[in-house]
Amino acid sequence: MTRDQLLDTMAKKAEISKRAAGDALGAMTEAVTKTLQKGDKLTLTGFGTFSISKRAARQGVNPKTGAKIKIPAMKVPKFKAGKALKEAVR
């Protein structure tokens, strides 16, 4: 599903304009982003939890040249599906 298709679905289900659905989706993604930037987690009961995971620094290999490279430690976003979502897609 594309973003445009998602907006169409949201607009029809909520009986709002596509523009309002776009504003709502934008506000939601902004809220998730800001929460994760602060280092907090966001839980949507039944749907899932957005959080930050830390990856340790490690050594990798450039597939083109075979040269070893250092991959720095970093924080990455993580999503864990909730029970209701897991059961819905079985």
Provide the whole-model pTM: 0.79
Cα–Cα distance between 22 and 8 in angstroms, integer?
9
User: What are the residues facing 59 on neighbouring strands?
Assistant: 70
User: Which residue segment(s) compose the domain that 10 sits in?
Assistant: 3-88
The pLDDT tens digits for 65-87 are: 999 999 999 999 999 999 999 99
CATH, residue 27: 4.10.520.10
Cα–Cα distance between 28 and 6 in angstroms, integer?
13
The pLDDT tens digits for 3-32 are: 999 999 999 999 999 999 999 999 999 999
Domain count, the chain: 1
Chain centroid to CA 63: 28
